[in-house]
Structure 1
Amino acid sequence: MSEVTHVKEKSGFEDFQISKETLSSIKKMGFKKPTEVQLKTIPLILEGRDLIAQAQTGTGKTAAFGIPIVEKVNPKRRKIQALVLVPTRELAIQVTKEIKDIGRGKRIYALSVYGGKSIRHQIDFLKKGKDVVVVGTPGRVKDLIERNVLRLDGIEIFVLDEADRMLDMGFIEDIEFIFQQTPERKQTLLFSATMPKAIIRLAEKFLNNSYEIVKIKPEEVTVDRIKQKAYRVDTGKEFETLTDILNENTGKKSIIFTETKKGADELSRKLRDKGFNADAIHGDFSQNKREKVLRDFRRNKIEILVATDVAARGLDIKGVDVVYNYSLPKDVESYIHRIGRTGRAGKEGVAISIISTIEDRLFQIVKKKTKSDIQLVNLSDKPIETLERRNFTKNSRRKFLRR
């Protein structure tokens, strides 16, 4: 195991050892210069190295493994040679489309498999034998293996995308089952937005001993373009405060993050009852409903999208004006990921958090670790607790800071 800390500066994709067909496809997709994650990982993957890469959504990580996959698979073999596991249906669709676009010049066929759509349709495509890349959610991939229609004996590249979210969603047993169906000799790649101990354990279990670690820092420039504000309220006043703020920001495309699926449903319903144009999205929705909600939000038919972290991970939604935290997330990385939904493509964004008084210390930690100038509006008469309060023990402080 070793960590990549420096790479030779490259001016463009032509500096990589990739084919003219792939270069042409990349150009048609509008890619001009490699991103940091692409610079650091593509050469390693082309060399056949196993690796774990820490990179946020929006850093170009799909192309980071998609370009080498297109270069390494052989469409003439008519056998599945690359498998990419992802946590959500939406991400499966997005990753498949990007790999298809990258591989268009080389006639690379890719198939996405996920729940919520007819499994018979996916089986029919697999039986045709054209697809050499499969992108899927762990549950559906396992189902297809058990039905003996998805054979992984020809796999040369195995990718776990958004690995931390798949662990959070309880997919570890399915992932281990799938991994056991692949050949012992293969290249394994883990891409994760965060690097908790569980991811390192997973890497040590799946990757060979000489695997590389690549870490891409979250784009602080993006955070700098986001005006951050927090409203401190008494418990029970969160919804009233949120609606007041929403009324001040009428007409702005917004995402509100909640901790649970039930919370997303309840909040979107309460907002609609108050006359707001809102809808929710989370993992319990049918595929058709999820696609409709996202389509309506992108087309501005829905002004406010209430989402869980898992449902929003991997979604490419442009033009979000305001991101709301309807309570702070449990870790700083999730906070950065949430607010990064706004302030994209050189534009300024706004992130607003509704925090109860019991979240005082967590707010201080978020502010400290993000090094952000978060404006605090105190709407409560209760005194603000800080990290220095005596009842906040050293052990509990360490616990929070490790998040």
Structure 2
Amino acid sequence: MTFKELGISKDLIKGLTELNINQPTKIQELVIGHLMQNSGDLIAQAQTGTGKTAAFGLPILERINTKDNKIQAVILSPTRELAQQIKQQIFKFTKYSEKVFTEVVFGGEKIEKQIQNLRRPTHILVATPGRLADLIRRKAVDIRQAKLMVLDEADEMLSMGFKKDLEFILNTMKHQKDIWLFSATIPTDIKYIIKQYLDPNAKQLKASGNELVNEKILHQYVPCDTDEKFMVLDYFLKTQKKERGIIFCNTKNSARSLFEKLKSRKLAVGILEGDMHQKDRDKELRSFKSKKLDLLIATDVAARGIDVANLAYVVHYEIPKQLDYYIHRSGRTARAGKTGISMALCTKNEMVQIKNIQKELGIKMKQVPFG
């Protein structure tokens, strides 16, 4: 189906065309097709990198009354980076339509400045849970008139420790509203949120098996000893020549150690990990996006919210402890219709996790020999 057939207005379609978004992705077709015809709560399981922002963003924009300057929709996101991206995309969608005012609030920036910005007309508020909860407690923002709440990357919000903030926000919005929940996985905590806050008859659009992982990703693994991992990585990077990618570690200490090793080899490498100041994280991400850096070493704090075009690969230098982290990490590559590699370096003890990933996601990981 086309965006026109899904019911999207011609002015928004004009903005999409300029962004070279001409054909809806599978999740966009499913979600937009439903939301343009129905009200009520929605639960959508969708992998990262498939155009979820347009899937919920376009139906939101179709519902906004531009003559009413109150906050009409709230979009919650787990990370500052993803929140900023959502705001930017919504802004680009509306280039040729009526002016829709969107504000974004997140931790790591002076709250006074954000409070001042919220005094301007705001139709859509994009926020991280911690900062929005803080603003509500300060009575600096009123979301009680909002008729719509989007929980984007809901599983990640809970895994990052935002459960109390999320519940506080949802309890603040006890009035009649639609909740649209998007999540790559549906763990126990998400099931609790669904049971407590969503309509029992909420529409469910659930991908199954390998649909949870982008089909354009080539999944590979290399069995090796722990002390061989750096040699394997070094060889893999040489095969990739000038291609760019992200290498994931489980801990900030591992990330720091690997960063120093690669930096000593004069590679254009950056790092993102949880102990860094926000301004330093922003600086590294800007350098990576502008192609000043070819490689980024990251912990799972950075597995979300990084939308960098044309990344050829991700490497799991350490196998993630949680299945959903494998999904989120892998989703950094093969975006916007491109192909990409998800390469895991695993010891004998980690082979159990490799088998579990294949079984749970319904994918086949190709073994690549080393040596």
TM-score by length of 1: 0.83
Q: 1:333 deviation in Å?
A: 4.5
CA RMSD between the two structures: 2.3
Is the contact made by 1:138 and 1:171 (CA closer than 8 Å) also made in structure 2?
yes
Alignment of 1:375 onto 2:367: yes
SS class of match (2:149): strand
Is the contact made by 1:112 and 1:135 (CA closer than 8 Å) also made in structure 2?
yes
Other-structure match for 1:124: 116
1:101-151 C-alpha deviation (Å, 9 max, x unpaired): 2234121000111112222221111112x1111001111111111221111
SS class of match (2:87): helix
TM-score by length of 2: 0.90
Is the contact made by 1:83 and 1:134 (CA closer than 8 Å) also made in structure 2?
yes
Alignment of 1:365 onto 2:359: no
User: Which runs of structure 2 are paired with 1:230-249 in the superposition (5 Å)?
Assistant: 230-249=221-240
Separation in structure 1 between the aligned mates of residue 188 and residue 278 of structure 2, nearest angstrom = 32
Separation in structure 2 between the aligned mates of residue 249 and residue 26 of structure 1, nearest angstrom = 33
SS class of match (2:40): coil
Separation in structure 2 between the aligned mates of residue 53 and residue 29 of structure 1, nearest angstrom = 25
Separation in structure 2 between the aligned mates of residue 68 and residue 34 of structure 1, nearest angstrom = 13
Pair 287,175 (structure 1): closer, same or farther in 2 beyond 3 Å: same
Is the contact made by 2:214 and 2:334 (CA closer than 8 Å) also made in structure 1?
no
Pair 257,377 (structure 1): closer, same or farther in 2 beyond 3 Å: same
Match of 2:74 among 75, 83, 86: 83
Separation in structure 2 between the aligned mates of residue 117 and residue 310 of structure 1, nearest angstrom = 18
**Higher relative contact order, chain-length normalized (CA < 8 Å, sep 6+):** 2
User: Which runs of structure 2 are paired with 1:161-240 in the superposition (5 Å)?
Assistant: 161-216=152-207, 217-218=211-212, 221-223=215-217, 226=218, 228-240=219-231
Percent identical: 37
User: Which runs of structure 2 are paired with 1:55-134 in the superposition (5 Å)?
Assistant: 55-104=46-95, 105-128=97-120, 130-134=121-125
Separation in structure 1 between the aligned mates of residue 240 and residue 93 of structure 2, nearest angstrom = 39
Pair 56,347 (structure 1): closer, same or farther in 2 beyond 3 Å: closer
**Paired residue type of 1:260:** T
Alignment of 1:29 onto 2:29: no
Is the contact made by 1:41 and 1:214 (CA closer than 8 Å) also made in structure 2?
yes
Q: 1:171 deviation in Å?
A: 0.2
Is the contact made by 1:142 and 1:174 (CA closer than 8 Å) also made in structure 2?
yes
Unmatched 5+ stretches in structure 2: none
1:48-85 C-alpha deviation (Å, 9 max, x unpaired): 12011000111111111111111112121111111111
SS class of match (2:109): coil
Match of 1:45 among 35, 39, 43: 35
Larger Rg: 1
SS class of match (1:127): coil
Separation in structure 2 between the aligned mates of residue 310 and residue 156 of structure 1, nearest angstrom = 31
Other-structure match for 1:335: 326
Pair 73,248 (structure 1): closer, same or farther in 2 beyond 3 Å: closer
Unmatched 5+ stretches in structure 1: 1-10, 380-403
1:336-388 C-alpha deviation (Å, 9 max, x unpaired): 44334334455543333211121122223334554325124266xxxxxxxxx
Q: 1:176 deviation in Å?
A: 0.7
Other-structure match for 2:139: 148
| Count of aligned residue pairs for this structure pair | 365
Of stretches 255-264 and 155-164 in structure 1, the one that deviates more from structure 2 is 255-264
Separation in structure 2 between the aligned mates of residue 376 and residue 244 of structure 1, nearest angstrom = 12
Pair 232,16 (structure 1): closer, same or farther in 2 beyond 3 Å: closer
Separation in structure 2 between the aligned mates of residue 19 and residue 277 of structure 1, nearest angstrom = 44
Alignment of 1:322 onto 2:322: no
